[in-house]
Amino acid sequence: MFKKKATCIFLVVLLLAGILLTFPSFAQQTPASLQQMQKLAAEEESITAYQNLLTYVETDSRNAALETSTGLREVYGGAYIDEAGALVVNVTDDSAVIQSELIQACKSDAIKYKIVANRLIDLTAAYTELISHLGDAPYFKVVLSETKNTIEVYTNQDIATCADYVTELVDGSLITLFREAETFTDCAILRAGDIATCDESNSWGTVGFPCYWENSDGTRYTGFVTAAHVVGAPSINTVPNSVSVNGTDFGTVNRSRYGNTVDAAFIVKDRSILPPWWILLPRLTNGESIDGWSDSSITPEGSTIRKFGATTGITQGTVISHRASITIGNYPFYSLTQTTLRAEPGDSGGPCIRSIGDENMLVGIMKGKDTNYSYYCRIDQIIKELSVTPIV
């Protein structure tokens, strides 16, 4: 009898322990997961402070023309989120007056300061000049890094020759030169697939996001956006190639853009193929919703983002720069976002998401990768170039 009671008590204890461990609130958090949660919480506050800072600096820039500027723009060297999720503001002067003004600008005292050599206005001007020669110059990639407070210039030629060329254009103190082979590849894959498949180009990639386009008489056409090179570009930018999704005929390419700031195509739903009740939902592959979209310029370097791809699934990384310009073949691309997201062939066109609290904000679609980084096209540029509106 005693043995039976002891056995029952033991089983009940095991059952209760299993139930407690099933619920996250009772389960023991690992140090790594707790650290990540703390970072994301700090990052959310930092992004708000960064957006406040951008507004303040932009206003200060406008006031400079009226000679009523406070002078913050004259010392501002950019900003980024560090590994702990805190906002670090680069300044060329960290006097008490500047620190006080930055707290006022960010509307937060939870910020850090870092003394740097270069002002962001100087870096931006030099970056603009350098990318105006992209495609003809002896370099193939230019990246403005607020985190490093420099412009990185990459060449696959003699570095001394490139240095001579660059310093004829801009102040050499703003530049860091690197010699590197051109290894950039678009992340489509040349084989039949079951995600977003283009029969004519025999390639496949990932559905980016549902959207619609409205013509002049108010007729609305729904469909989705993916990378243009998945559905036939760059060879042809306008041909109405047929596209399937998960092996089912979907529709045709309505318009696409490959080059400048965008690698994207709008695939319009064929109403004669799909039943009337067939609709596009703003859902990610894991069931989460897409709650809106966000201009990448208000997402600081160091921010955490996720990518959804047909090949590598859901991956997480950080923003390295929003101003990465690169030549791919004869096509220059400007102001792509450089990230640490893992991306492989088949992930092209996949949505890149910034999550704040419970909201998933679409920031762009995956473009391609090189040896160390991956790149996405910004949602604001896609909307502008394709005249589409995301469905959220």
Query: How large is the average pLDDT for residues 250-271?
Result: 89
Which pLDDT value is given to residue 162?
96
> Model confidence over 101-127: pLDDT tens digits?
999 999 998 899 999 999 999 999 999
Query: How large is the average pLDDT for residues 72-101?
Result: 92
Strands of the sheet with 111-115, listed across from one edge: 76-81, 87-91, 111-115
Q: Quickly state the pLDDT bin for 52 (edges 50, 70, 90).
A: very high
Residue 207: helix, strand or coil by DSSP? coil
pTM here is 0.85
Residue 234 has pLDDT above 80, yes or no: no
Residues in contact with 189: Cβ distance below 8 Å, sequence separation at least 6, in sequence order = 203, 204, 205, 311, 345, 346
> Model confidence over 334-386: pLDDT tens digits?
999 999 999 988 899 999 999 887 889 999 999 999 989 999 999 999 999 99
Query: How large is the average pLDDT for residues 126-130?
Result: 98
C-alpha distances (whole Å) from 329 to each of 31, 182, 223, 333, 358 are 46, 10, 29, 10, 40
Range with the lowest mean pLDDT among 14-23, 43-52, 367-376, 382-391?
14-23
Which pLDDT value is given to residue 187?
65
Tell me phi and psi for residue 32, to 5 degrees: -65, -45
Q: Over the chain, what is the mean pLDDT?
A: 84
Residue 23 has pLDDT above 50, yes or no: no
Residue 24 has pLDDT above 50, yes or no: no
| Residue 370 near residue 328 (C-beta atoms within 8 A) | no
Q: Quickly state the pLDDT bin for 282 (edges 50, 70, 90).
A: confident
CATH T-level fold of 31-115: GMP Synthetase; Chain A, domain 3 (3.30.300)
Which pLDDT value is given to residue 289?
87
Most confident listed range (32-46, 241-255, 350-364): 350-364
Which pLDDT value is given to residue 287?
83
Which pLDDT value is given to residue 276?
60
| Residue 114 near residue 91 (C-beta atoms within 8 A) | yes
> Which superfamily, per CATH, for 183-392?
Trypsin-like serine proteases (2.40.10.10)
Which pLDDT value is given to residue 19?
41
Locate the domains of the chain by residue range: 31-115, 129-179, 183-392
The answer to whether domain 31-115 and domain 183-392 are alike in fold is no
Which pLDDT value is given to residue 173?
97
Which pLDDT value is given to residue 62?
77
Which pLDDT value is given to residue 30?
64
Which pLDDT value is given to residue 42?
87
Which pLDDT value is given to residue 191?
32
Give the H/E segment covering residue 261: none
